[in-house]
A and B are shown apart, each in its own frame.
Chain A
């Protein structure tokens, strides 16, 4: 590769110098410069006190001492291995799915691998740190397996993902009564981050069929059914989640016959499912409306009846179109589950509140809330970033 130097044009220097970049991007005009200066000042004014508080004032021992509570609440210690199994399974399944669907160049999935790294940075004991980092190992194994060239893997990954949730919930909730291999752990003992995530996951899973049913009901030509669906959807969407939670908490025990006792956590599940179903219905309706008229007509021309048209032609397309929205709905739900704190359930924020009731940790409110906020941020940012990347690389939701 020897070319005569005289013929090579010098690169446009301005583009690559720091000064040039600064001038173009930050100090283009007087107005621009003022904006830049204000922005720098704002950043400084916000960052300085926050950092100095975080590194010198804050007493982070409150987090370190209560970490188990923050993560799993009052879940019995001897059954904790089940939570680990569920987590490892999750890592493996997610890795496998990622490996099967995203071939080659897409690197963004590694953001998800960052979540365990973040968790391992928390003041856990070394063994637990290793166990958390092992999550990434399982993730990698999943990815490597998924990368293998096997056309069936895509279907398998969906099936494993769908099977994962009931299996996981059974593992955590238990199977075999009071004793045995998997003794029941009552939902009231679920807590911390685990409860937060479970509330959101179960909320989404259960609200899916109900939401689809409500969306179809709303589209229905039968007046009573469509009024009913519209009524339920608008009623639930018209009131704050907190009132639905409050109602379920106080009134569900009254609504059910006296023989049936429902645990507080289950009541929250019911409320969250109902809430999520109404929003799900609106999302699915959006998907249904996006289906061109021609699809219905074509189905009719093929001789399909109303039911088969819905089940085989319209719904599959509509549901595909709403998958990206489901991810953001899940993230929204994850954040909304914090409201169960007001029902004195021990989700991650509720645990924070009760830790503050422990005489040893009185006065550490800021530390606790900052920690909870950071936890949520890492989770939902990681999820939304990864899902956006997955969408672009799969072309889901694009036409």
Chain B
């Protein structure tokens, strides 16, 4: 038997060496032992510590150069939030947050498809950003002081203003938080939502039982089955999901809003240029909406406009693009390829979608909302 199996064994060793070389998995420990024959593959595996994907991503510093050398921008995203980031039947990521990732790609490369989405769980999102695995985090992330400082993150402009609310069953007759005293509340783990809930209930001296889920969908199913008296998350999420409940009219969203939830892209501390690029990309979508520039008419407007602000927006006048380290027509690329804010919004959260959310605070300041782009000069 030994005669027959030895070649097999030797082959396995060779194979694992080959695999270690091309598969690129890193074995984190290198156990050595007496038999050198088996020592070889283990060492070999350890010697190939993961595959380098293109040039090095800088943990801090020159993100733009890294991104340009790589050829695409990597965004940390959501994989299971209807309207904001989910996988469609073709297997591509779609949603409001994803479109802002495309906008950044369009600004940097002039190609809205030069992006890659790295789906992240709520636990791993900040480590992914810290370790330089992603360039931008666009994943329903609330702007808080501790995240902005202690976690080494920088929040750019807010793309979506939200606040935490509750959905309850009409039949239960719950109108205020006080009515929820002694009740059960379903909530998703690893979010500011969980802590907000605890803070608010404690502040009002109310007792409740939290049921905490890893996964949004499980939370909603269990709420609908009656495990909880209320489900709490950002109001946008409540609105978007309510119409997908079996009988939407049996449920009602309470008036109370217990927190401010400004959601927007996040970048690493310490790279101001990259921070500016992402921030002004977001502003470009606001500006375009304010000035009526859409994906369809951007080309014509660029050629015909006489407004000096629009001219500098399109890069036909001045060199604002160069200040950011981008092409002169970067903002044109964003709008023509991804659209202005209203187009992005309507495509993902507008009245024609399954996940309709009225714009409310997310309207231009001229319409009574909070969206405001600084001056383009």
Contacts and interface: CB of A to CB of B under 8 A. Distances in A.
Q: Do any CB atoms of chain A lie under 8 A from CB atoms of chain B in the complex?
A: yes
Interface of A: 65-66, 68-69, 73-75, 155, 158-159, 162-163, 165-166, 169-170, 173, 186, 188, 191, 202, 205-206, 208-210, 212-214, 216-217, 220, 222, 225, 228-229, 232, 246, 248-250, 252-256, 258-264, 266, 269-270, 273-274, 306-307, 310-313, 315-317, 319-320, 342-346, 350-351, 353-360, 362-363, 365
Interface stretch (B213-221, B254-262, B330-338, B364-372): B213-221
Residue in B9, B36, B130 with the greatest tally of chain A CB atoms within 10 Å: B9
Residue in A65, A188, A220, A359 with the greatest tally of chain B CB atoms within 10 Å: A359
A359 B41 contact: no
Contacts of B57: 258-259, 261
B59 A216 contact: no
Given A169-B23, A206-B25, A274-B28, 9 more contacts: A69-B87, A202-B25, A205-B19, A209-B41, A252-B50, A254-B130, A258-B131, A262-B50, A263-B53
B1 A258 contact: no
B81 A208 contact: no
A349 B15 CA distance: 30
B18 A166 contact: yes
B183 interface: no
A166 B59 CA distance: 34
A145 B2 CA distance: 27
A255 B241 CA distance: 40
B82 A342 contact: no
A259 B79 contact: no
Contact of B127 (A208, A253, A259): A253
Contacts of B41: 209-210, 213
Residue in A159, A162, A209 with the greatest tally of chain B CB atoms within 10 Å: A209
Contact of B91 (A69, A155, A210, A320): A69
B1 A357 contact: no
A214 B87 contact: no
B4 interface: yes
A307 B37 contact: yes
Given A165-B15, A209-B45, A316-B2, A310 B128 contact: no
Interface stretch (B115-123, B155-163, B276-284, B297-305): B115-123
A365 B51 contact: no
- 5 tightest CB-CB pairs across the interface, nearest first? A357-B80, A259-B56, A253-B131, A209-B41, A217-B33
Interface string B220-255: 110010000000000000001100101000000000
Contact of B26 (A166, A212, A270, A311): A270
B79 A344 contact: yes
Nearest to B18: A166
